[in-house]
């Protein structure tokens, strides 16, 4: 793994400056990154003044990678989850940077392979790099992503993953089916590493809660 922090500084700024989003606005952010002073505050190692053809390619590559669904929760894309950090064209190769979610998430490799495949499908030579710093948190899930989770029947994670209350489940989890706040936790550890099992006391339906980390 040679992917550590070398690239993380500019990426960090980009992700942090990404309040909500979804695919469209991420792609827009990507384009605006071509402005050298914003995109590469540190010595630019790639495309500070990208020719317009390159910019289009990069946006195209971004869109292809961003459309990859999460293998375990296919209602959301990896862009919705905030785990696709950037896609850049470097020496003709589309380089996608993704960040792992939960330490033990078995989907990490599947996601990386799917991103690489999507980029190749879109006509690029492709490489995927894993970025671990700064660590992903559920706060990076976009508003669209949270909505899609809810529509799929999974209660989205509480915001503010740094709060002990949120981590310790003393949060208000609304039923994704009927919206009731009368819910109770059945099991802390659910069907996948990222989910806990809840029950709605109003409509009596069980549902998954996307755990906050």
Partner 1 sequence: MTARAKIDQTALVTILLRLADDHLILGHRLSEWCGHAPMLEEDLAMPNMALDLIGQARSLYQYAAEAEGEGRTEDDLAYLRREREYLNCLMVERENGDFAHTMLRQFYFAAFMQAFWDGALESADETVAAIAGKAVKEVAYHLRHAGEWVVRLGDGTEESRRRMEQAVDALAPYVDELFEADAVSDAVAEAGIAPDPASLRKSFERTVGAVFAEAGLETQAVPYGQTGGRRGLHGEAMGYLLTELQYMQRTYPGAVW
Buried b (16+ CB within 10 A) or exposed e, 159-194: eebeeeebeeeebebbbbbeeeeebeeeeeebebbb
Does 165 bind partner 1 (CB under 8 A)? Our answer is no
> How far is it, in rounded angstroms, from Cα 39 to Cα 28?
13
- CB 150, min distance to partner 1, A: 22
For residue 184, state whether it binds partner 1 (rule: CB under 8 A).
no
- Which of partner 1, Zn ion, none does 200 bind, CB closer than 5 to 8 A by kind? Zn ion
Task: Determine, following the binding rule CB under 8 A, whether residue 136 of this chain makes contact with partner 1.
Answer: yes
Q: Is 132 exposed, middle or buried (0-12, 13-18, 19+ CB in 10 A)?
A: middle
Find which of partner 1, Zn ion, none residue 203 binds, CB within 5 to 8 Å per kind: Zn ion
97 pairs with which residues across the strands?
Answer: 86, 129
134 binds partner 1 (CB under 8 A): yes
If the CB atoms of residues 72 and 147 are measured against partner 1, the closer one turns out to be: 72
For residues 54, 57, 61, 66, the Cα torsion angle rounded to the nearest 10 degrees is 90
Q: Is 183 in the site for partner 1 (CB under 8 A)?
A: no
Residue from 63, 64, 158, 200 touching Zn ion (CB under 5 A): that is: 200
Report the residue from 167, 193, 203, 213 that binds Zn ion according to the rule CB under 5 A.
Answer: 203
Does the protein bind partner 1 through residue 213 (CB under 8 A)?
Answer: yes
């Amino acid at each position: 793994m040679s992917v550590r922090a070398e690239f993380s500084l500019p990426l960090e700024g980009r992700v942090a400056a990404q309040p909500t989003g979804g695919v469209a606005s991420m792609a827009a952010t990507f384009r605006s990154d071509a402005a050298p002073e914003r995109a590469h505050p540190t010595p630019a190692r790639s495309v500070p003044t990208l020719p317009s053809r390159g910019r289009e390619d990069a946006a195209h590559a971004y869109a292809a990678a961003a459309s990859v669904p999460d293998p375990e929760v296919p209602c959301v894309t990896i862009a919705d989850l905030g785990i696709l950090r950037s896609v850049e064209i470097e020496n003709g190769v589309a380089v996608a940077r993704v960040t792992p979610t939960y330490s033990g998430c078995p989907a990490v490799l599947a996601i990386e392979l799917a991103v690489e495949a999507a980029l190749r499908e879109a006509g690029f030579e492709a490489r995927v790099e894993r970025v671990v710093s700064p660590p992903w948190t559920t706060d990076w899930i976009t508003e669209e992503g949270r909505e899609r989770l809810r529509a799929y029947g999974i209660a989205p994670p509480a915001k503010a993953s740094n709060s002990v209350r949120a981590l310790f489940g003393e949060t208000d989890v609304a039923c994704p089916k009927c919206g009731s706040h009368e819910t109770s936790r059945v099991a802390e550890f659910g069907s996948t590493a990222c989910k806990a099992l809840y029950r709605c006391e109003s409509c009596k339906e069980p549902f998954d809660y996307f755990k906050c980390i």
